[in-house]
Structure 1
């Protein structure tokens, strides 16, 4: 996936457009721009630009000629026709568009700008490439269940390879928000509840999208979002307020953003939410002090969709002009969709409300990233119809989709070793997701097509299952006439039931907050009826968040979390269901006992009255109907092997500037090979700031043949034990630390203690 693989320049270019570009003032940048530096020729361009043209470089709008399902993914707006948008671009009123309709749209717009605009500054084309372009991979939280950042890098690399071939320069991904409240629908876009895992996946995805050079024709600029702390929204309600301490913000929520920027992401997106009363889009502390001054971020910040305008309804700005002023002075370089910058920035500069130097600085940043993307060298770098077709849904991409889906699946429960299933057993495949080209790709797919994805029954039959009946039994959120009776009859005629239930695509994702994260009532009625037949039940959960499992679903003999897996859904599930591939995924988020526990996460504080491990006691930290624990915790997942942890090796002390080697013996006493995720957790028992009951510090995957065992070692240093002290500076204090090498955040595994010595 390099320039050399498919290097033919866009043959559809008109010769006139090329000549116009070669003669333009911006073309002179090529010889002098060096990395992220701002050379003198940029100043020459700025000197020629009117205030309106400068504002235009900071205005990004949805494409009038939209692609795929883009029109249904954002609130409707009354924008210009395609011809009108092209005219705006030629007039210098737009820096680019997003979620457009592929190469032909991009070619026509770029051609018009390079022929007819005054300064010949190329457009930038952006899109929501969240978990694949044409080939769809598991939703991001499912991919995080692989605990394999390299896999995330490879799927992002493939997504960039496809998207760049379709004229896309910039993706609005990765989303790195920590999600600790499973009611929040956008949980599916991130990496779950843990900051360490979030940092690793943020960096991997940036490296995947951007490749070795942003100028390559298979590279796409990454965008870190949503800055910041969107996942902490109150009640898990989308677009809601966030109120949290600076310590929590810096310790838990900010690290994944910084990891993404440190990995080289050249853009970020302001979050919809406010933080402690100040909308992120109008927050100079966040955008200037933290992002620019502390982190030295050199790239561009774009608002979310009409995010600047939404400060009016939030009660922070009095009108559109005020909103534009607040957002721009806070440090948001580019406005998305509202047109507020195009409408008001020039007048704000003329009136003295916005310094022209500040405007010029943001324009420089935009021109710099366009240069780094290679657009000043060749505005048509990623616009090639032949390449768009050749790179779409290649054999390698489909194989990678299947691999990623296999690794995302999490086996929660497997009583009596019901799984893997024998291909010769009579299977009753029941549930609203048993068959059909729907709800396979998952939310936030702009260009993929469910009709090209493999459904469950197709995958099961392709795997060689001998006898499979298919019965819907119920809809996702509605009963079907006679559905339960038909399902019961199918179950009675089978050896085993495979029950495919959960959430539809429309129940997860943006603006899909849920007050109860349970299986919908019609599906629960179906599950209870099928369980009543006495036949063994394998539950396949479709979901984009952690769920609170109840009744017959919770008590099923086997439960697998199959998320939204993308193009190869059916094949991947069948691979694991029948044992062609063993389950290796682990939960990147906690499944609570009940919805009312949310927000729930494993790294909670102990409180002064922790609940005991044994019988329930009054006046302790506990709910009346649930323990202060998860039904299935972060890091949990079973294999088809039998894994044991033994022989802990925990030295008694860690020197202040030294290292400590921690080890345990991991054995597979079963008859099947497996891959175990060995996890390292610590707890600082006594500190000047109370610490969580456990914190993930490292993990390692270990492949174990039947009867095999391996000593797994980790190394810790003092730096990995640091936290923010009372002065919000990194610190760590001598004392006792608990350490667990374990299969989940709640499992005991093996345990020891050591003393940190000064």
Structure 2
């Protein structure tokens, strides 16, 4: 359908029909029974009529090809103009085949695998009838207390931007209209949702415009530059105004400055929450603020359908605003090919063959292996103890269609490759409780073994949305378990299942090895087994720092210096920027991770010591695998502007390269640095570089680097 036909369709719609297109409801409003698909549900709670439901533009949270086809058929019969609905859902890290949580995917530093995981999620979603996923979440996060760190790819704007692009490519492909195995992506949460005060969900965000543009906006922009079809508003304030009613953010920045003309959707209930924020007196004012800001779809509240018609008729809102929003919604439906094929890729027979197939699970296993981070080298003979020894709660939050009955737990995965007599299993403790019987059983079997492997962590409910925690250590019960087992003086390996960086005191200082597995997804237990028994050499590197203690949080590598920085040469200087009781540095820094082999870095060579905007700098070093195993190193390049117009970070990631090396093999690694990479937002928000001195660093993480200097002339 071309633009002329879309405009003609819009002209046929009544005001109420237009505004109904701007409402999104959950499945309970549509599916009364699987037999007839009648419209039922709690319509009274939103104050809407069956007629409004018949005209709704999109539906949230229904998956399954047969059900989607049934509901769409019923809707097309009831809608006067036969306008199809869009089916949307939160497909965050997989549909039925669950991949590691996005924070773990970030630790893979592997854009190709990230894109492949999104393409598989799209394929399974599309054949099951879905059209839009509310992903990727690209919020930059620096506070591990926030539960939704698990949904982000970490603390670095450059790395987050690369993953944002990869996920969008994977979800949408190259031809969304004709490729029915893809779905439209919705980048979220716009903007700066990850900067909530105190790491508390839905909390206030107060950033300078410079901070916002320098660190928090780049990943959203990268997703949109990749062609992302939708944007979701965030729950938080931006410059004192809630994002969902923030005209400066949505109209001026997103629409005008960035040129985004796709669909802007609120998060769940965010329009009516403008009242609780204190910027709207009632639902009518909330609707006014949101539509003026440019929000096209209101998710799961009814301020629009109840109040926009009257606001238009009274002349408080120009109907052209409604037309703009509805035309964007119709255009999205057209881009998805729904007018020609309202059932799009939904196919019950193909669904049975594609969803959770062996091919998809194999990719999940590979990505899980690449996402695990190894701070120490573990032993390989085990006695398995801990609440995750037999747990199937390894999918993580947002694994909407993932089924625990399909999951292989860790003990079963290990028993599949070793003689049963070689492993003893005990629960040891629950997630947050421990009994004397539990730890005594654990000690009894530990005495009979050579090596203890502890399967520890958070339950999936302890992170994700609404999962903020003030204390991010392991629950005390699990720390007690470690203490009891430590008395045996046997080698101990800890495998951690969690959705956030943890305070690892009581773990890393008590055990001999730690494997950070995150919530690794459908094939996570098998991937961990591959690593434990040496079939896979881990190559994951942290995309978010692990704090030394929660009191450091937020802690991140690309911080500013101060006028009184802590100096190694003056450890007793009280009047420096430091803590009296803990280090300034995180326990494990951004980019950190080890391997079953070791790598040696050669001298860093610079092609020039002075560059201009017309020439680039070539940086080379040689990496050697000095161990006995094949391994993959993530070579990281950082830059610091020594003296800027405003304070600049101590380091900024500018590039990286994954290098696979055989034992004894050496490879030259080269990077190119241009003047464009040295630009930043100045105090007047202009974006440019400064002439002067720069430090360039190469290393295996943000801490362990070698340094050289060069100058930029302008």
Normalising by structure 2, we get a TM-score of 0.96
Q: Please state how far the C-alpha of 1:242 moved relative to its aligned partner.
A: 0.1
Matches within 5 A, 1:301-700: 301-414=264-377, 418-419=378-379, 421=380, 425=381, 427-437=382-392, 439-464=393-418, 467-614=422-569, 615-650=571-606, 651-700=608-657
The alignment covers a number of residue pairs equal to 701
Q: Please state how far the C-alpha of 1:101 moved relative to its aligned partner.
A: 4.1
CA–CA distance in structure 1, aligned partners of residues 417 and 574 of structure 2? 53
CA–CA distance in structure 2, aligned partners of residues 305 and 552 of structure 1? 38
1:444-463 superposed Cα distances (whole Å, 9 cap, x missing partner): 11111111112111111123
Matches within 5 A, 1:78-227: 79-80=42-43, 87-88=50-51, 91-92=54-55, 94-215=56-177, 216-227=179-190
Alignment partner of 1:56 out of 20, 33, 36: 20
Matches within 5 A, 1:253-332: 253-332=216-295
CA–CA distance in structure 2, aligned partners of residues 162 and 551 of structure 1? 41
Q: Please state how far the C-alpha of 1:86 moved relative to its aligned partner.
A: 11
Distance 1:219 1:88, change over 3 A: farther
Distance 1:383 1:88, change over 3 A: farther
Q: Please state how far the C-alpha of 1:104 moved relative to its aligned partner.
A: 2.6
In structure 2, the residue matched to 1:74 is none
Moved over 4 A (4+): 84-90
The SS at the match of 1:364 is helix
CA–CA distance in structure 2, aligned partners of residues 134 and 101 of structure 1? 10
Distance 1:511 1:78, change over 3 A: farther
1:374-404 superposed Cα distances (whole Å, 9 cap, x missing partner): 1011111122211222211111101011011
Q: Please state how far the C-alpha of 1:621 moved relative to its aligned partner.
A: 1.3
In structure 1, the residue matched to 2:35 is none
The SS at the match of 2:587 is strand
Kindly indicate whether the alpha-carbon contact (under 8 Å) linking 1:306 and 1:335 is maintained by their aligned counterparts in 2.
yes
Normalising by structure 1, we get a TM-score of 0.90
Q: Please state how far the C-alpha of 1:89 moved relative to its aligned partner.
A: 6.5
Kindly indicate whether the alpha-carbon contact (under 8 Å) linking 1:61 and 1:96 is maintained by their aligned counterparts in 2.
yes
Q: Please state how far the C-alpha of 1:551 moved relative to its aligned partner.
A: 2.5
Kindly indicate whether the alpha-carbon contact (under 8 Å) linking 1:284 and 1:331 is maintained by their aligned counterparts in 2.
yes
In structure 2, the residue matched to 1:713 is 670
CA–CA distance in structure 2, aligned partners of residues 66 and 677 of structure 1? 49
More moved, 202-211 vs 57-66: 57-66
The SS at the match of 1:677 is strand
More moved, 311-320 vs 714-723: 311-320
CA–CA distance in structure 2, aligned partners of residues 452 and 581 of structure 1? 23
Matches within 5 A, 1:735-750: 735-748=692-705, 750=706
Q: Mind listing any 5+ residue stretches in structure 1 that lack a counterpart?
A: 1-29, 34-38, 68-76
Tell me how large the CA RMSD over aligned residues is.
1.8
Kindly indicate whether the alpha-carbon contact (under 8 Å) linking 1:64 and 1:100 is maintained by their aligned counterparts in 2.
no
Q: Please state how far the C-alpha of 1:727 moved relative to its aligned partner.
A: 1.1
Q: Mind listing any 5+ residue stretches in structure 2 that lack a counterpart?
A: 32-39
Q: Please state how far the C-alpha of 1:413 moved relative to its aligned partner.
A: 2.0
CA–CA distance in structure 2, aligned partners of residues 554 and 110 of structure 1? 57
